Amino acid sequence: MIYLDNNSTTRVDAAVLAAMEPFWREQYGNASSLHTMGQAARHAIETAREHVAALVGAKPREIVFTSGGTEADNLAILGTLGATAKRHVVTTAVEHVAVHSLCERLATQGYRVTFLPVDSLGQLDPAAAEAAIGDDTALVSVMHANNETGVIFPIEDVARRCAARGVPLHVDAVQTAGKIPIDVAGLGAKLLSLSAHKFHGPKGAGALYVGRGLRLRNCQVGGHQERDLRPGTENVAAIVGMGEAARLARERISAGAMQCVAELRDRLEAGILASVNFARVIGDRANRTCNTTTIGFTALEAEAVLIALSEQGVCASSGAACSSGSLEPSHVLKAMGIDERIAHGAVRFSLSHETTRDEIDRAIEIITDVTKQLASLVGGA
Ligand code: PLP
């Protein structure tokens, strides 16, 4: 199996699994309990908080654990709106559905939402973000990198403009945390979402960075866990797993391992482009996460390509995993104005540090064979 779908999810690192293991059957205390087992759980959570904070240059007390990226995004947006009378949100047309669908719902509930356009490379104009801000703007929510194309937005520039207008910036960093260095202060984010399963941690664990002084109202009501912002008994094992995954990711980033991922991604891309003349790279190649390439195979259907690839042992995705099964091009590719014939055949290949050169060379052969065969069937590529 050649797994090139790491933007959907990643394999849990063996060390992460080992770190989590004791918290189910040995150290299974509730972190709110005063006895030794409870305190062991509390200590483990606080250690994990330190690791997650270090991954994004935050202070441990600024990290709120959640059930994943979706919950972190929801808490950031709804929590901000819950603490202000302002009714306007600025976001982009290409956010992950965790933000996009929430904002669409808000627009039906009396909020005003501005969906900023992107250009044909999937890039955002920071000046447009600033121009959209008004006196009633509660929040700007802009993703760090796009899950479908890997395109990285100029967050620092957007953040400077938000700060000048006194509006907090939420950054969905689910596709960058653990892949590229992140420093919340340098980035200028007041809120930042992370998800463990995108960097070899467990599914169902995430975090929201909440900068000091930011007013946020909880979305769930209950106990006092996570400074009241996320009540409910903590999922200790998952949090511990996220902490260990964050620690390992930080090590990998500083050891330059992600540079090797970029080289393999470039090798894959170059190999496909050299042998498949109806293949086009989608998105801003100069500003992308190191592990992602989205390639449009003109006149093919992405679903057909994915099934044929899967039969040959290659795992990839078309657009967002969440929208697979639908034949419509994703809202991201639509917002980029990608030609329909290319957008329908858009396949995302996403690597990890576990991907090998041999796998990439084999994948190039399989992708070339599969797409040429399908093209000969449709006869028009
Ligand atoms: N935001 C982005 C950019 C994502 O790519 C994803 C998952 O694909 C999410 C949010 C949702 O994260 P989770 O799966 O942890 O809920």
The answer to whether residue 380 scores a pLDDT higher than 60 is: no
Q: Which two tokens mark 279? A: 């293949």
Q: Which two tokens mark 109? A: 């509930």
97: CA distance to ligand 1 center in Å?
8
Determine which residue's CA is closest to atom 8 belonging to ligand 1. Answer: 8
Answer yes or no: pTM beyond 0.85.
yes
- pLDDT at res. 107: 98
Helices (H) then strands (E): counts for the chain: 14, 12
DSSP state of 165: T
State the first-to-last Cα distance of the chain, in angstroms, to the nearest integer. Answer: 28
% of residues, the chain, pLDDT over 70: 97
Atom of ligand 1 nearest to the CA of 71: 16
The answer to whether residue 322 scores a pLDDT higher than 70 is: no
CA distance linking residue 141 with residue 379, whole number of Å: 43
Question: Residues with Cβ within 6 A of ligand 1?
Answer: 68-70, 73, 96, 98, 143, 147, 172, 174-175, 195, 197, 206
pLDDT in tens, 334-354: 999 999 999 999 999 999 999
pLDDT band per the 50, 70, 90 thresholds, residue 186: very high
Asked if residue 10 lies in contact with residue 356, where contact means CB atoms within 8 angstroms, the answer is: no
The answer to whether residue 325 scores a pLDDT higher than 90 is: no
pLDDT band per the 50, 70, 90 thresholds, residue 119: very high
- pLDDT at res. 44: 98
How many CB atoms sit inside 10 A of residue 347's CB? 26
- Amino acid identity of residue 85, one-letter, is A
- pLDDT at res. 379: 73
170: CA distance to ligand 1 center in Å?
14
194: CA distance to ligand 1 center in Å?
8
CA distance linking residue 49 with residue 228, whole number of Å: 16
Atom of ligand 1 nearest to the CA of 321: 8
- Rounded to an integer, the average pLDDT of 60-67 is 98
Residue-averaged pLDDT of the chain = 96
Determine which residue's CA is closest to atom 10 belonging to ligand 1. Answer: 69
- pLDDT at res. 328: 81
pLDDT in tens, 22-39: 999 999 999 999 999 999
CA distance linking residue 347 with residue 189, whole number of Å: 31
208: CA distance to ligand 1 center in Å?
12
- Probe residue for ligand 1, chosen from 174, 239, 350 as the CB with the greatest number of ligand atoms within 8 Å: 174
Q: Active-site positions?
A: 322
pLDDT in tens, 149-165: 999 999 999 999 999 99
pLDDT in tens, 90-116: 999 999 999 999 999 999 999 999 999
306: CA distance to ligand 1 center in Å?
21
- Probe residue for ligand 1, chosen from 175, 289, 292 as the CB with the greatest number of ligand atoms within 8 Å: 175
% of residues, the chain, pLDDT over 90: 96
Determine which residue's CA is closest to atom 13 belonging to ligand 1. Answer: 69
Q: Where are the alpha helices (DSSP H) in the chain?
A: 14-20, 22-25, 36-55, 69-82, 97-107, 126-132, 155-164, 184-187, 236-254, 257-275, 302-311, 331-335, 340-343, 357-378
Q: Which of 9, 322, 70, 68 is CA-nearest to residue 195?
A: 68
CA distance linking residue 226 with residue 242, whole number of Å: 16
- For residues 149-163, one letter each, b for 16 or more C-beta atoms within 10 angstroms of the residue's C-beta and e for the rest, the string is bbbbbebebbbebbe
The answer to whether residue 321 scores a pLDDT higher than 50 is: no
124: CA distance to ligand 1 center in Å?
20
80: CA distance to ligand 1 center in Å?
19
**Residues in the chain, total:** 381
Atom of ligand 1 nearest to the CA of 147: 5
Atom of ligand 1 nearest to the CA of 95: 3
CA distance linking residue 70 with residue 99, whole number of Å: 8
- pLDDT at res. 101: 97
Strand partners, 114: 90
What is residue 58's three-state secondary structure? coil
Q: Which two tokens mark 343? A: 């957008």
What is residue 191's three-state secondary structure? strand
**Residue 326 or 180, more confident:** 180
Q: H or E stretch including 209?
A: strand 206-210
pLDDT band per the 50, 70, 90 thresholds, residue 291: very high
- Rounded to an integer, the average pLDDT of 124-133 is 98
Lowest mean pLDDT among 75-84, 202-211, 319-328: 319-328
- Probe residue for ligand 1, chosen from 149, 171, 172, 195 as the CB with the greatest number of ligand atoms within 8 Å: 195
- Rounded to an integer, the average pLDDT of 245-266 is 96
- For residues 62-100, one letter each, b for 16 or more C-beta atoms within 10 angstroms of the residue's C-beta and e for the rest, the string is bbbbbbbbbbbbbbbbbbbbeeeebebbbbbbbbbbbbb
Question: What is the Rg, in whole angstroms, of the alpha carbon atoms belonging to the chain?
Answer: 21
Atom of ligand 1 nearest to the CA of 195: 15
- pLDDT at res. 236: 98
pLDDT in tens, 302-318: 999 999 999 999 999 99
The answer to whether residue 86 scores a pLDDT higher than 90 is: yes
- Rounded to an integer, the average pLDDT of 310-332 is 78
Atom of ligand 1 nearest to the CA of 73: 10
Strand order in the sheet with 279-282: 279-282, 292-297, 346-350
- pLDDT at res. 378: 86
**What sign does the CA torsion over 296, 302, 304, 305 have?**
positive
Strand partners, 258: none
